[in-house]
Chains A and B, each alone.
Chain A
Amino acid sequence: MSLTRATLAKDLRLEWRSKDAINSMLFFALLVVVIFSFSFDPTAEESRHIAGGLVWVAFLFAAVVALNQTWARELRNQVLDAYRVSPAPANALFLAKAFGNFIFVIVLEALMTPLFIIFYNLRALGPAWQLPIVGALGTWALVVNGTFFAAMSLRTRSREIMLPLLLFPISIPAVLAMVEATSSILTGEYSAKFWIVLLAAYDVVFTTGCLFLFEIVLNAE
């Protein structure tokens, strides 16, 4: 646990001083929002139905930007090799990275949500208090698998391309759940309960899977 805390604190401090990840994510998400607004007419009624998909696609793409940088930093000066030979448990490192990415993406979402509301005239017709739950569960689903696959694609050629290729197919059910939950809350037409439960189950299963298999991926040589 102390290793998790130390690595997380280190990553957050690095990010706080450089602001590399958050700046690139923010700008990227902003571009996606603007480009999407050209591809259809953002009137209130229309946009309420598609906003769920739009918001999550923007976050998904932006998250990949941050996820790609997760491990790249550790490659310099062979930091990752040092982790590997140290007796520290691999999962502590994984959790630190996943929490770090989670915080980055949550900050991004907190900053982008007002923009979405302004640009697309959004107002939730359903229970709005469920939105943060969907946001947190959905972000964790993206980030936990993303951190794992980023470690995996580290070992491939052209790793920046590899990450989305691995992450997106596995994430399809989670993305569907996030989009449907968000749309159902925004339109208030049906309940988001099923999707929230599905997302929670997805989170539990894949977090367990990552923790079981991360050591293998870290040490694959």
Chain B
Amino acid sequence: MKKVFPILCVVTAVLLSYALYQALEVAPTEATMGDVQRIFYYHVPSAWTAFLLFTINLVASVIYLFRRSVKADIVALVSAEVGVVFCTVVLVTGPIWARPVWGIWWTWDMRLTSTLIMWLIYVSYLMLRRFSSSGQTAMLAATLSVFGALCVPFVYFSIWFFRTQHPSPVIGGGGSLDPRMGRVLLINWLAFLFFAFVVCWSRYRLEVVKREVEEAQAMEDLALPRSAR
């Protein structure tokens, strides 16, 4: 396993730079938006990766609720953390693109709003993990994750109905994508997936070590007499 990790890092680095080259050089310039459109190759893969990670978080939380497996808990924590990072990238790149194209930084459009609410829910998940005392964190966090997932359809439907009453610009509503752009998009997504996986993996190992240290510390704190150690 230890050998695989550096190899994976190298592969990810190569893939990311290739994807960058593809996005900046190879992909055709968009006819009306110009070069600004290229942020799309970061925006969309980040969004897909974030949603994938949030799904993994839900699955791991449910597994934890049934099996009480520590591994599942760590996976849930890691996927939520990295998912929030990617979701932040989505929320930051979106306005950068929207400003020149729509003329506004932000609009309370359906997708923007639901992504923002999703982000809020997972930030509150991380806050809960940060604030709860160690023994109960896993259980409480898993419950909150299930609640967050229950909330997603409501967010979607409420915002959908709310915003269809006040029409606003929406991208990609049945629009077609140049196949070359589609290919670059997929390459970028692949690179992002590798990147997310590498980050999650190292974070996972860090968390495992952290818990081992804590456990060892707790054992020491049990105040065994020195001779008994």
Contact = CB atoms under 8 A, between A and B. Distances in A.
Contact of A156 (B117, B133, B151, B158): B133
A36 interface: no
Contacts of A206: 147, 150
B159 interface: yes
A67 to B, nearest CB: 16
B117 A172 contact: yes
Interface in A166-208: 166, 168-170, 172-174, 176-177, 180, 190, 194-195, 198, 201-202, 205-206
Nearest to A189: B165
Given A172-B155, A206-B150, A155 B124 contact: no
A76 interface: no
A177 B154 CA distance: 10
Most buried by A among B132, B133, B155, B165: B132
For chain B, what secondary structure do more than half of its interface residues adopt (helix, strand, loop), or is it mixed?
helix
A180 B147 CA distance: 23
B136 interface: yes
B159 A155 contact: no
Given A157-B133, A216-B65, A216-B139, A166 B144 contact: yes
A162 B128 contact: yes
A124 B4 CA distance: 67
Contacts of A25: none
Contact of B127 (A162, A170, A176, A177): A162
A170 B148 contact: yes
Contacts of A31: none
Contacts of A174: 154
A158 B159 CA distance: 32
A114 interface: no
Contacts of A220: 136, 139-140
Given A152-B144, A172-B117, A173-B155, A205 B150 contact: yes
A166 B162 contact: no
A157 B65 contact: no
Contacts of A180: 162
B146 interface: yes
Q: Is the interface of A mostly helix, strand, loop or mixed?
A: helix
A221 B132 CA distance: 11
Interface residues of B, number: 30
B157 interface: yes
Given A169-B121, A172-B117, A155 B155 contact: no
Contacts of B150: 205-206, 209
A99 to B, nearest CB: 20
Interface string B168-179: 000000000000
A110 interface: no
Given A172-B120, A190-B165, A209-B146, A217 B127 contact: no
Given A156-B128, A158-B131, A209 B140 contact: no
Contacts of A133: none
A197 to B, nearest CB: 10
B121 A217 contact: no
Interface of A: 145, 152, 155-158, 162, 165-166, 168-170, 172-174, 176-177, 180, 190, 194-195, 198, 201-202, 205-206, 209, 213, 216-217, 220-221
19 contacts: A152-B128, A156-B128, A156-B133, A165-B124, A165-B127, A168-B120, A169-B120, A170-B121, A170-B124, A172-B151, A173-B157, A173-B159, A176-B158, A205-B150, A205-B154, A213-B65, A220-B136, A220-B140, A221-B135
Closest 5 CB pairs of A and B: A173-B154, A220-B139, A169-B120, A173-B158, A220-B136
